[in-house]
Amino acid sequence: MGQEQSMSEFRKSVDWERIYHSKEFRRLKSNRMRFVVPAIIAVCMVFLFLWTVQSYIPALANVQLLGFINFSFLLTMILFPTIWLAGFAYTKYVERYVEPYEEGLLKTYGKKEAGHE
Amino acid sequence: MNNQVLSITVFLVLIAITLVITAISSRRVKTDTDYYAAGRQIKPWQNGLAIAGEFMAAAAFLGISGLIAFYGIDAQIYSICWFVSFFVVLILVAEIIRNTGRFTFADIVAYRLKSAKIRPIIAVSVILVSIVYLIPQMVAAGSLSKLLFGIPSSWGILIVGALMIIYISLGGMVAATWIQSIKAVLLLGCGIALAGLTLSFFHFDVNELFTAVADAPDLGREWLEPGGWLTNPLERYSLGFGLLFGTAAMPHVIMRFYTVATKKAARSSALWTMTFMGVFHVLTFIFGLGAAVLVGSEVIAAIDAGGNAATPLLAATVAGGADTFSGALFMAFVVAVAFITIIAAVSGLCIAASSAFSYDFWFNFIKKGKQTAAEQVRTARISAVAIGLIAVLCALGLQSSNVAYLSGLAFALASTVNLPTIVFALFWKGFTTKGALIGIIGGTLIAIFSVVAGPQVLGEDAIFPLQNPGLITIPLGFLLTWVGSLLTREKESGEKYHELSVRSQSGLGSE
């Protein structure tokens, strides 16, 4: 309860609008979005392609590439490691291009803040 | 020893282990943070395991295999979309949710909007989603108990309900996490063993399995080609997008990101989830195609027309046959693990629903945030018992009806109602309380209509054309919330947007 109250007081004491418009925050946000937006678009495009091929282009979906293993199945299976690698890449990207700005903000504004490493 | 007696014995041993864990974890539950968020002490890998457990449920272990055995490879869409949905969760919501809320996603929305108006309605929405999802799970548990253990389905529902109430009312999120983690480990072990044993019949060559499917007189090449199950292309897009983006809005998934200590741990949890889910879901096609070839769809259908017996029968076959001890033991183990998966899944839903009532509705709305930690835990425990009893009574009442459509309704509700609310609260300055209310109420009505008037309920007389309504209902949910917000103004919400944006992106001021 005590920690909750001090957090609430801390939040009231911070000039959020100033931080929002600060250079560090804008950089932090744009760096994160630089990964997130293309990644979401890429995921949507890949799945739109996969489902379109499966639904409307059976000649391509059913092309046998390895014995009876066809294009549609292979593409689906390749997505497992590819998307995992994209997730792993995101965590490394955030560590390199987002966290330094987060730490800068926390150092400048978040001395009383709890729950961070 | 009779197969069913063996299944019951293995099941009882596993239940005894989980009850011991619940007894231990109940001693650790002293504050609201302990109950709702496991004291934020869960390690990222364990949280990842628990979240993955939610999506390695009976639907995945039994359902996908059955669909593949009956209709071919199409049902793989569930595996790949659930897996990729956690990439969306990782990059879009995991950290942001951890940075901004306390125990439930209503915290985020209520902070920006008028809490007194928005929190109770979100609580109702979460309880509705959770109970609607709980009922088919419990009815399925009843049917499975009849099929697998040879006991009446009412007993199965009562057993699952009683265990769920014990776990959640005593151990809260700690117990739910441990049960889900244990189940996930068992399921992963079981899945890897089953896939290995199945592939051993084909010299560990996937292509040989495919050749066997193509050459089987009652199967053929079409089993390996898309279109056997999802015959309407629009259903494929709708189901796929619903699964990809709906997961991020499921309340029991969101809650789990509050159980870790930091935003980095939340991020790490999501990557662990992808790891465990990837390992399991990459194997589901082997269970389905293996069952189709080695067991045969007619044999599976003779035992259960829904296909749920495909995996247990495959287990018995690949371990030496149902009449051998090894075959019977492996089948018993698979059956017991499948039943544990249902108990773990309903426990996660129960804590989501009871938290919505006790924390969002009772503590924040009725008591205006004035309750001691002990009182909050007591309310949460009473809520868990009440939610559990409601779910058991509904499941008992509906056990003879086909309630499969309720799972679709729960997913439609979560993605149509919760997703726009979370996205707009975090990313759009113009979001208003009235817009949110219009979106939540309108989205709920649209989701209910799309399922009740859809092919799952009305069959050929359906007014709504799709079995999986996400393609239409999710954009409508966004549209309603957006238009509702454009037509109204709320200065405070705009001002708080800056704070929520900074907090969500940086973690400044998070708990």
Q: What is the pLDDT of residue B161?
A: 93
The model's confidence at residue A113, banded by pLDDT at 50, 70 and 90, is very low
CATH number of B3-23+32-401: 1.20.1730.10
Residue A1 clears pLDDT 60, i.e. is over it? no
Locus of tokens 């079981």: B190
Integer CA distances (angstroms), A72 to B70, B87, B97, B468, in order: 19, 21, 35, 22
**Rg of chain A over CA atoms, in angstroms?**
22
Please list every residue in chain A whose beta carbon sits closer than 8 Å to the beta carbon of residue B214.
68
> In this predicted model, what pLDDT tens digit does every residue of A52-83 receive, in sequence order?
999 999 999 999 998 999 999 999 999 999 99
How many C-beta neighbours within 10 Å does residue A4 have?
A: 13
- Residue A70: which of B225, B236, B506 has the nearest Cβ? B225
Q: What is the pLDDT of residue B481?
A: 96
pTM: 0.92
Q: Does B261 sit within 8 Å of A110, measured CB to CB? A: no
Chain A nearest-CA distance from B203, in A, is: 15
Q: What is the pLDDT of residue B410?
A: 84
Mutation target vs B (from A10, A55, A75; most B CBs, 10 A cutoff) = A55
Q: What is the pLDDT of residue A36?
A: 96
Q: Helices then strands (H, E): number in chain B?
A: 25, 0
The model's confidence at residue A110, banded by pLDDT at 50, 70 and 90, is low
Residue B140 C-beta-side C-alpha neighbours within 13 Å: 27
Question: What does pLDDT average to in each consecutive run of 10 residues of chain B (511 residues)?
Answer: 75 87 85 91 95 84 88 92 94 91 89 90 92 86 78 90 92 90 92 96 95 92 91 91 85 92 94 96 94 92 84 93 88 86 89 93 92 91 94 88 75 89 92 95 94 88 90 95 94 88 86 74
Q: How far apart are CA B305 and CA B237, in angstroms?
A: 26
Q: Does B502 sit within 8 Å of A68, measured CB to CB? A: no
The model's confidence at residue A112, banded by pLDDT at 50, 70 and 90, is very low
Chain B nearest-CA distance from A36, in A, is: 6
In this complex, is the C-beta atom of B511 within 8 Å of any C-beta atom belonging to chain A?
Answer: yes
Residue of A nearest to B268 (CA): A91
In this complex, is the C-beta atom of B112 within 8 Å of any C-beta atom belonging to chain A?
Answer: no
Those residues with Cβ within 8 angstroms of residue B39's Cβ, 6 or more apart along the chain or in another chain: B28, B31, B33, B174
Please list every residue in chain A whose beta carbon sits closer than 8 Å to the beta carbon of residue B73.
72-73
| Domain extents in chain B | 3-23+32-401
Residue of B nearest to A75 (CA): B80
Q: How far apart are CA B159 and CA B374, in angstroms?
A: 29
Residue A114 clears pLDDT 60, i.e. is over it? no
Question: ipTM for the complex?
Answer: 0.91
DSSP character at residue B29? -
Q: What is the pLDDT of residue B459?
A: 85
> In this predicted model, what pLDDT tens digit does every residue of B79-117 receive, in sequence order?
999 999 999 999 998 999 999 888 998 998 998 898 889
Q: How far apart are CA A35 and CA B166, in angstroms?
A: 44
Q: What is the pLDDT of residue B478?
A: 96
Locus of tokens 């499917």: B213
Mutation target vs A (from B107, B243, B506, B510; most A CBs, 10 A cutoff) = B506
Mutation target vs B (from A51, A78, A113; most B CBs, 10 A cutoff) = A51
Q: Does B233 sit within 8 Å of A51, measured CB to CB? A: yes
